[in-house]
Homo-oligomer: A and B are copies of this chain.
Amino acid sequence: MARKPTTQVKPKESSKAGRTSPRDAQTIKHIDDFAGGVVTASLKQREPMIEVPTRTLSNTIWDKKSRVLTMGDAKQDRTLFNVSQAKKFMQMLLHSAGTKDLINQQKTTSLRAMFYAGLHTIAGTKEKTFADQEESDGILEDLEVSLGALREELHIYAKKRGTMAGNITIIDTGDEIDCRRLGSGGYSVPGITEPDVIQFKKCEAKFVLHVEKDTVWGRFNEDKFWQKHNCILTEGSGQPTRGMRRLLRRLNKELGLPIYCLLDNDPWGHYIFSVIKQGSISLAFESNRLAIPDAKFLGIRAIDYTRCELPDDVQIALNDNDISRAKQIAAYPWFENHKGWQREIQGLLDNGFKMEVESLTKRDISYVTEEYLPERLAKKDWLD
């Protein structure tokens, strides 16, 4: 099929344009400074250069004091006249212009749509600006670290996933939402949960219970656990999204609510907890805004097999991959010298099997909400 000329449409002025928040104004200033540096260098006939903090494991530091994963000081230069760097240099400028347009229009968009927005064929060549979305996503992460702005502050969101219900009223983009009155469905947590999107209005809840699966959340919500125990109930449908992690962190930091996690007794459950608590390597530069060092792991614990008198039907044998993952996680700097976690992971390996939260169903359908959780909470029996 013959190539057609690329349609170039200027972003329209949005009716909301101009009403930028202080946060947006600051982000735009960062983008302008960033682009301005390039322009200034060009005008002075110096080679334009961008410094990008290095996002690799070797530049990831476990900060004992703040108890989160952070990024070290290593930086990479990207210059326009270096053949191997020129493409990334231009891609960063392209996406920085795209994010500025977004903010000016007061709109948000997805990583996928950003990829499309930045994608075009470079005039006079057959070269595309991006090979695929992965390349575009990487450049957006480079931009985040270079600008010191969260992706959400650049008006870009990842997947929306996860649910909330409980004793809290929030304001979401002007709408007051009473999370006590959302039936069996709940509030669908958006991709961006920054303070200018979501404000906390009235909260009686004393803690947050975060569970791994929507089906487990359903059990707790149906049993009105949050009502009986005065809390907020959230679920992440697996590893929580950035939006969910930011929300949990804000509930912890701004409202002082403890975050208790109910996850499976397997390496994946332990990993999810580790990410919630300490941050992840790939997003170490965001830990200070995403990690919750005070989060607690309530269960399922390896000892629950005997403690809760579960039948052997609940055993799911560990495979080789589980065993090596468990050992990797035990060697994480924040677990390495933590007696409780060493014992817990060893307990999993000694058991030789994993257990899911659903295994407690063997006792009774509501055992987890009526006995297990209340007992763990009363005894302060958790891992931190």
Contacts and interface: CB of A to CB of B under 8 A. Distances in A.
A197 B184 contact: yes
A358 B116 contact: yes
A157 to B, nearest CB: 7
Contact of A364 (B12, B161, B173, B313): B12
Interface string A171-184: 11111110001111
A365 interface: yes
Contact of A175 (B121, B157, B181, B219): B181
Contact of A110 (B184, B218, B313): B218
Contacts of A12: 364, 366
B181 A185 contact: no
A310 B219 contact: no
A206 interface: no
A112 interface: yes
A306 B108 CA distance: 27
Given A183-B172, A188-B187, A218 B160 contact: yes
Interface in A334-384: 351-353, 356, 358-359, 361-367
A183 B309 CA distance: 45
A161 B364 CA distance: 26
Given A190-B218, A222-B108, A117 B184 contact: no
Contacts of A110: 215, 218-219, 358
A172 B177 contact: no
Interface in A169-222: 170-177, 181-192, 197-198, 214-215, 217-219, 222
B185 A310 contact: no
Given A113-B361, A121-B313, A362-B117, A352 B1 contact: yes
Interface stretch (A2-10, A40-48, A58-66): A2-10
A314 interface: yes
Contacts of A325: none
A358 B113 contact: yes
A182 B175 contact: yes
A283 to B, nearest CB: 19
A188 B119 CA distance: 33
A327 interface: no
B215 A113 contact: yes
A141 B284 CA distance: 45
Contacts of A1: 312, 315, 351-353
Interface string A70-106: 0000000000000000000000000000000010010
A214 B177 contact: no
A110 B181 CA distance: 23
22 contacts: A1-B312, A1-B351, A3-B312, A4-B310, A6-B313, A7-B309, A9-B362, A9-B363, A109-B365, A112-B356, A121-B312, A160-B185, A160-B217, A163-B188, A172-B182, A177-B181, A177-B182, A177-B183, A182-B187, A186-B190, A190-B218, A191-B218
Q: Which 7 pairs across A and B sit closest by C-beta, in order of nearness?
A: A172-B183, A110-B215, A188-B188, A6-B311, A175-B183, A184-B190, A185-B190
